[in-house]
């Protein structure tokens, strides 16, 4: 065997392990993660624990596994499987255990015994090539025979997909996700539309899809690659809180990422903005003019569709709130502001500057208001003044901020309880909020501090 290069410091070398899968003790159907026991032929009935993505592996099969050795504090020595291939059982006993392992729902050890008694070592060949002959076995009617044949085909399809995905250097855990998403169409999607993986399969980003695309021979300057790269660049920008990128910056980012000509990027961006990218007829991106910074020349903004929709919906809801007939704090419509501000001065021990006073009036008399300004211009004291006056009129005030630290600061500023936006709305990762337009918050005044942190 040729010498392997030394492992990097702290890196455990990939090892190979062969054994017969004796039993599966745990299997997660969603991600394929499996805990199993294998017989490595060491004798004395010793079984070894293997863990990893073993989708499609069946009890009784011989497995050739690649992975790394590890140790669990409770369960001891384990082999962490990264990839595996299967060898069908070669003995009648192995075939009997394989068929009776739960491969087919309704086929237990009794029927597995009958089938192997009838066909012997030819059992698996019969199931593969002449499944109708299974009806020769006593007690196996046409219905059960069809179930065995169908289950065999399904397992074969899973194994073919997993084997193909390993040839294009996809890890078993990623292969499981691909198979769960596309089923028998997995090979076709990976070969012909690898960049779909980045959008469709959780855990696969553009960089992984790009690597797969190279493995299956997609050209470096393929329009599909450039379009996927443009969407990836926009997606990366959202991690920085950007809902869009100016067109010129997006083109520059994509050229740097993809290492292709600027002209090709411009052409593909035009196609992305014009072509429907999904069955609903939505384009891949939205291009539109938006006001430039500080009121300068308008710039062409490029959005991913979901962010454009979100921004439009948010603007629409703010407009609806601003113009709604309902007023949760009617007391401030005709309040005596001189008296109110004098009371506030006694309460806080400080005067409001003219701009702060204007902001307080606006926030308490309009249904939506945005308070902006640079550091040190008095935003915090203005917020405290708004909350103090609202409370004085018995209004229900709810305070929130994007982060726990900002919420704590807001609570200290107003001497009232404040929470994060997520906790206030009971918004759980991957789920919907408990409060929305159909079930609004029970509040007269909602204050969201540090709203510039929100994208």
pLDDT exceeding 90 applies to what percent of the chain? 37
What would you report as the CA-atom Rg of the chain, rounded to the nearest whole angstrom? 32
Decide if domain 15-160 falls under CATH 3.40.50.740. no
Q: In sequence order, what are the beta bridge partners of 35?
A: 26, 51
15-160 and 223-290+299-309 share one fold: no
Indicate the average pLDDT of the chain: 85
Residue 8 has pLDDT above 50, yes or no: no
Topology of domain 330-453, CATH = Rossmann fold (3.40.50)
Q: Which candidate, 416, 407, 418, 401, places its Cα nearest to that of 452?
A: 401
3-state secondary structure of 420: strand
Assign residue 10 a region: left if phi > 0, alpha if psi is -120 to 50, beta otherwise?
A: left
H helical segments located in 120-222: 123-129, 142-167, 172-182, 186-192, 196-200, 206-215
pLDDT recorded at residue 256: 94
pLDDT recorded at residue 278: 53
pLDDT recorded at residue 2: 39
Q: Residue 82 contacts by C-beta under 8 Å, 6 or more apart in sequence?
A: 14, 52, 66, 67, 68, 171, 172
Task: Please give the model's pTM, rounded to 2 decimal places.
Answer: 0.63
Q: Please, which pLDDT band fits residue 360 given cuts at 50, 70 and 90?
A: very high
CA dihedral 92, 98, 103, 109 (to 10 degrees): 70
pLDDT recorded at residue 419: 93
Over range 70-84, report the average pLDDT: 86
pLDDT recorded at residue 5: 42
Assign residue 190 a region: left if phi > 0, alpha if psi is -120 to 50, beta otherwise?
A: alpha
Over range 407-418, report the average pLDDT: 91
Q: How far apart are CA 99 and CA 151, in angstroms?
A: 11
Q: Which candidate, 107, 41, 99, 35, places its Cα nearest to that of 72?
A: 35
| 71-85, 257-271, 329-343 — most confident range | 257-271
Q: How far apart are CA 398 and CA 391, in angstroms?
A: 11
pLDDT exceeding 70 applies to what percent of the chain? 91
Q: What is the distance of C-alpha 59 from the center of its chain?
A: 32
Scored b (16 or more CB within 10 A) or e, 246-268 reads: bbeebbebbbebbebeeebbeeb
Over range 326-331, report the average pLDDT: 87
Residue 216 has pLDDT above 90, yes or no: no
Over range 347-374, report the average pLDDT: 90
3-state secondary structure of 5: coil
Residue 98 has pLDDT above 60, yes or no: yes
Residue 341 has pLDDT above 60, yes or no: yes
Residue 10 has pLDDT above 60, yes or no: no
Q: Please, which pLDDT band fits residue 453 given cuts at 50, 70 and 90?
A: confident
Residues 34, 173 contacting (CB under 8 angstroms):
no
> Tens of pLDDT along 144-203?
888 888 888 877 777 777 778 777 777 767 777 888 888 888 888 888 888 888 878 877
Q: How far apart are CA 27 and CA 194, in angstroms?
A: 28
Residue 365 has pLDDT above 80, yes or no: yes
Decide if domain 223-290+299-309 falls under CATH 1.10.10. yes
Residues 152, 128 contacting (CB under 8 angstroms):
yes
Give the DSSP letter string of 347-365: HHSSPPPHHHHHHHHHHHH
Residues 381, 356 contacting (CB under 8 angstroms):
yes
The residue extents of the domains of the chain are 15-160, 168-215, 223-290+299-309, 330-453
Residues 381, 350 contacting (CB under 8 angstroms):
yes
pLDDT recorded at residue 45: 64
Q: How many residues does the chain have?
A: 455
């Amino acid at each position: 065997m040729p010498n392997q290069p030394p492992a990097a410091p702290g890196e455990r070398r990939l090892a190979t392990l062969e054994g017969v899968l004796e039993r599966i003790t745990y299997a997660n159907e969603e991600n394929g993660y499996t805990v199993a026991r294998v017989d490595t032929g060491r004798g004395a009935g010793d079984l070894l624990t293997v863990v990893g993505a073993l989708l499609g592996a069946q009890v009784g099969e011989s497995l050739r596994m690649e992975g790394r050795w590890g140790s669990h504090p409770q369960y001891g020595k384990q082999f962490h499987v990264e990839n595996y291939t299967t060898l069908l059982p070669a003995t009648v006993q192995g075939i009997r255990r394989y068929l009776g392992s739960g491969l087919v729902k309704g086929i237990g050890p009794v029927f597995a015994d009958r089938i192997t008694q009838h066909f012997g070592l030819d059992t698996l060949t019969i199931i593969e090539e002449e499944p109708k002959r299974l009806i020769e076995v006593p007690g196996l009617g046409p219905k059960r025979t069809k179930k065995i044949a169908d289950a065999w085909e399904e397992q074969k399809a899973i194994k073919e997909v997993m084997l193909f995905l390993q040839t294009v250097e996809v890890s078993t855990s990623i292969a499981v996700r691909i198979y769960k998403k596309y089923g028998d169409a997995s090979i076709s999607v990976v070969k012909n539309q690898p960049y779909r993986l980045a959008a469709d399969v959780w855990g696969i980003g553009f960089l992984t899809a790009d690597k797969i695309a190279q493995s299956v021979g997609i050209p470096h300057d393929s329009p599909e690659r450039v379009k996927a790269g443009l969407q990836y660049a926009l997606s990366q920008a959202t991690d920085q809180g950007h809902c869009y990128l100016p067109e010129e910056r997006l083109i520059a980012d994509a050229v740097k990422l993809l290492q292709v000509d600027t002209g090709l990027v411009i052409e593909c961006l035009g196609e992305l903005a014009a072509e429907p990218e999904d069955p609903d007829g939505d384009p891949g991106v939205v291009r539109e003019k938006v006001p430039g910074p500080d009121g300068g020349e308008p710039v062409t903004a490029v959005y991913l569709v979901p962010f454009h929709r979100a921004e439009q919906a948010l603007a629409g809801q703010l407009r609806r709130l601003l113009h709604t007939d309902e007023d949760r704090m009617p007391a401030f419509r005709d309040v005596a502001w001189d008296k109110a501000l004098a009371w506030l001065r006694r309460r806080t021990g400080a005067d409001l500057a003219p701009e702060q006073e204007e902001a307080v009036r606006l926030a308490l008399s309009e249904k939506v208001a945005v308070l902006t300004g640079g550091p040190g211009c008095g935003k915090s004291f203005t917020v405290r003044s708004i909350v103090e006056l609202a409370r004085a009129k018995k209004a229900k005030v709810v305070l929130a901020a994007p982060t726990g630290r900002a919420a704590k600061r807001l609570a200290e500023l107003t001497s009232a309880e404040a929470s994060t936006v997520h906790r206030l709305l009971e918004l759980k990762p991957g789920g919907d909020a408990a409060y929305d337009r159909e079930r609004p918050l029970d509040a007269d005044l909602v204050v969201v501090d540090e709203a510039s942190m929100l994208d």
